[in-house]
Chains A and B, each alone.
Chain A
Amino acid sequence: MSEKIESGQSEGSMEITLDSELVGRRVEADGGTQVGNTNFASRAEFEGVLTGRKIVQGDPPWYWLEIGQLSVKPDDFEDEFVWCEESYVYSLD
């Protein structure tokens, strides 16, 4: 069950929903992103639990899932949560 909880800045092109069916699922994910405004990027692996928060951005829709309780993350990763693109999130349950 999904519930819209907030909208992004970009004129309705992005919204954050809460999907109760996702909450608590154990997952692993392949992440990574561009480094600042450079041509560099990084890859990163995560393992944790879905919080249920989900971003839906643009058309065609681009889905992002928030992962918390991170048990696997890069050595130097200090955040408690990470948003990962849905295609690279793998269920561990």
Chain B
Amino acid sequence: MTDLLAAPSVVPEAAVTVDDGRTRRRLPLGLWFGIAWLVVATFHAYMASRLPWVRGENQRVEGAGRYRIGPSADFWFGSDKLGKDVFARCVYGAKLSITLASVSIVVGLVLGGSLGMIAGYFKGWVDRALAIVIDSLLAFPALVVAALLIGRFDVLQASDIQVAGFGFEWLTRRWSIAIVFSLLSIAPVARIVRAQTLSLSEREYVLAARSLGARTPRILFREILPNLVPAMVSVLFTGIALLLAAEGALAFLGYSIKAPDASWGLMINEARVDIDQYWWATIMPAAMLFMTVLAFNLIGDWVAKRFDIREAAI
């Protein structure tokens, strides 16, 4: 009876079935845009030095009138007050911004994911102890902590303090930002992963694996971790978007990368006071930042919807 009733609704779906029997899903336009943008942006960012149409990061174009010229065929995004090509700096900035954000979120996923899995699987006092740590990390205002820590790291780098024979000369702004962003992404990731693990560990296949004599590490890595991947991918994308924007905010406070390196946040901040004289040096990197954050968010949202993950804390 139910089969008969259900039959008509099945027919239109069968119409989009491709030859190999799989149903073709129409991917939303936003997703296509997101993927296309990221492919183009990362390709440019990581191949910049080999691409003939991208000038050097700090290459100055000498000659009268080369400063602050508007967007043109020669300077796609114009040039800034030092005569540097804004397009080239946007591309090099992409490399730094995207690398910083992705590395930090990956570190956060590994550390936060492990904490969340341990808390969610073992429950009891382990969970309660970790919950206190996670909640207190979340209680800090992220940006204030970031600015504070980066400021301290600067002092540390300038000092000649040594730990076990190693100094801190390597602790440049890039490293401090990466460390701080990684630390800040641990707590939200741990919270999401913990919630997912709690629900996954109650699934019958986990009990089934236990009833067959599987050890705890095997259950964690074979039964639970693979099922966490969709949630983690979703966190990865939305997290990168969040950190990209956070880098921009840090630049405003003067705690981002230092010139002559380029990052989007830094470029926006450097040129914003002169926006009425040459708008392109601010608007172009801002547009890049906006599009990239949007692209990551669109992909992240699609993954989350596809796998039905409810965003908890991000």
Query: Are A and B interaction partners?
Result: no
Residues of A within 8 A of B (CB): none
Chain B residues with a Cβ under 8 A of chain A: none
